[in-house]
Amino acid sequence: MTPGVDLDVEALLRLRHLAARMRDIRTLPRSTMPGDIIHKRRGRGLEVHDVRPWVEGDDIRHLDQNATARTGVPHTKTYFDERERSILLVADFRPSMLFGTRRAFRSVAGAEALAMLGWRGVGRGGRVGCLAATARGTRFSRQGRGERAMIAHVGVLAEAHRAALADREPRDPPLAEVLETTERLAGTGSTIVVATALDAPGRDFDDVVLRLTRKHDLVFLLVEDAFESEPPPGDYPFSTAEGVSGWLLIDRKRASDAVDRVARLRRLGAQGARFASATAPEESLQVLEKIDG
């Protein structure tokens, strides 16, 4: 087994201990979480989070009569987002993801991140499912609770990745097709997290994303290799699966493509979080903590 190339089942299982260190964004002051919280709130919820002094703009219906009477100052209740935690992990193991110049393939880094989110999800009593996509199709592990369910998901990730590495198919099927399968399998109201680099999105990508965001919280973990985010300027030879070859001039401006992809996803109602494949799992907690699933 080659570290960073093969998906280590034991390593994915051990990530449950690291996932236990992830903070719950629902209990943290906004100021402690740099950047956006990656979750669309669907309603105010039912679980009271805090009681604080009322300020202009608060909903008058949420006034806390007891605190107001006790202090003589209007107080209001704030709420957690009370919903069943349900998350579907989607791993992109298409040929373009089987690439990396530092530490790990993009596919491996994406699987590690998904596994951490999955362990956190079952640790909170939520339901977690898993879908892994290769050039030959998808493998699905049904949503379930507890460690037994997560162990099954880890097995699906490892089997699918092993098959992807052994496959000689050079072409990526459109990512839109993977998302259409996701649409059929995801339970209503799930948080869907897709670890991908958005290669070969397909003509129907925007339409599928729009449909998904109407029913789900959709998050893309955009896995980036160091060569993509900080490409050494120069001329590079290339060849494509269609037999086209030539030379490509790379400059630093190409690194801004990832920012454009995040902006595109937001316009479609989804969220995007950039994630470096060179980053070890223990160093990625801050990015993953902001995904509320």
Please tell me whether residues 188 and 55 are part of one structural domain.
no
Query: Would 227 be classed as within a structural domain?
Result: yes
Q: Is the pLDDT of residue 277 over 50?
A: yes
Alpha helices (H) in 58-171, listed in sequence order: 65-71, 106-123, 146-166
pLDDT band at 26, cuts 50/70/90? Answer: low
Place of tokens 């937001």: 266
Please tell me whether residues 271 and 188 are part of one structural domain.
yes
- Give the pLDDT of residue 254: 54
Burial class (CB in 10 A: 0-12, 13-18, 19+), 270: buried
- Average pLDDT for 270-274: 92
pLDDT band at 92, cuts 50/70/90? Answer: very high
pLDDT tens digits, 134-171: 999 999 999 999 999 999 999 999 999 999 999 988 89
Please tell me whether residues 60 and 193 are part of one structural domain.
no
Please tell me whether residues 32 and 147 are part of one structural domain.
no
> What is the DSSP secondary structure assignment for residue 63, as one 8-state letter?
B
Q: Is the pLDDT of residue 251 over 70?
A: no
Enumerate residues 6+ apart whose C-beta is below 8 A from 131: 88, 89, 90, 91, 138, 139, 140, 141, 178, 181, 182, 185
Q: What crossing angle do the helices spanning 9-19 and 106-123 adopt, rounded to 10°?
A: 50
User: In CATH, what number is assigned to the domain containing residue 166?
Assistant: 3.40.50.410
- Give the pLDDT of residue 49: 57
pLDDT band at 37, cuts 50/70/90? Answer: very low
Which of 23-27, 217-221, 264-268 shows the lowest per-residue confidence on average (mean pLDDT)?
23-27
**Structural domain containing residue 50:** 27-79
How far apart CA 230 and CA 253 sit, in angstroms, is 9
Query: Would 241 be classed as within a structural domain?
Result: no
Burial class (CB in 10 A: 0-12, 13-18, 19+), 254: middle
Please tell me whether residues 51 and 90 are part of one structural domain.
no
- Average pLDDT for 23-44: 48
- Give the pLDDT of residue 234: 75
Query: Would 3 be classed as within a structural domain?
Result: no
pLDDT band at 290, cuts 50/70/90? Answer: confident
Please tell me whether residues 94 and 67 are part of one structural domain.
no
Please tell me whether residues 55 and 126 are part of one structural domain.
no
115 with 91: CB under 8 angstroms?
A: no
Q: Is the pLDDT of residue 72 over 70?
A: yes
- Give the pLDDT of residue 128: 96
> What is the DSSP secondary structure assignment for residue 56, as one 8-state letter?
T
Please tell me whether residues 53 and 186 are part of one structural domain.
no
Residue of higher predicted confidence among 232 and 183: 183
Query: Would 179 be classed as within a structural domain?
Result: yes
Q: Is the pLDDT of residue 292 over 70?
A: no
Please tell me whether residues 132 and 149 are part of one structural domain.
yes
Residue (of 181, 179, 186) closest to 209 by Cα position: 179
How far apart CA 123 and CA 146 sit, in angstroms, is 7
**pTM across the whole model:** 0.79
75 with 180: CB under 8 angstroms?
A: no
Query: Would 2 be classed as within a structural domain?
Result: no
On average, the pLDDT of the chain sits at 85
Number of domains making up the chain: 2
Look at strands 245-250 and 234-239 and give their pairing.
antiparallel
- Give the pLDDT of residue 100: 92
pLDDT tens digits, 199-230: 999 999 999 999 999 999 999 999 999 887 77
Which of 89-98, 157-166, 184-193, 232-241 shows the lowest per-residue confidence on average (mean pLDDT)?
232-241
Last residue of a domain, one of 40, 60, 79: 79
Residue (of 6, 285, 280) closest to 120 by Cα position: 285
Q: Is the pLDDT of residue 45 over 60?
A: no
Q: How far is CA 50 from CA 80, 119, 129, 164, in A?
A: 9, 28, 32, 48
Please tell me whether residues 230 and 256 are part of one structural domain.
yes
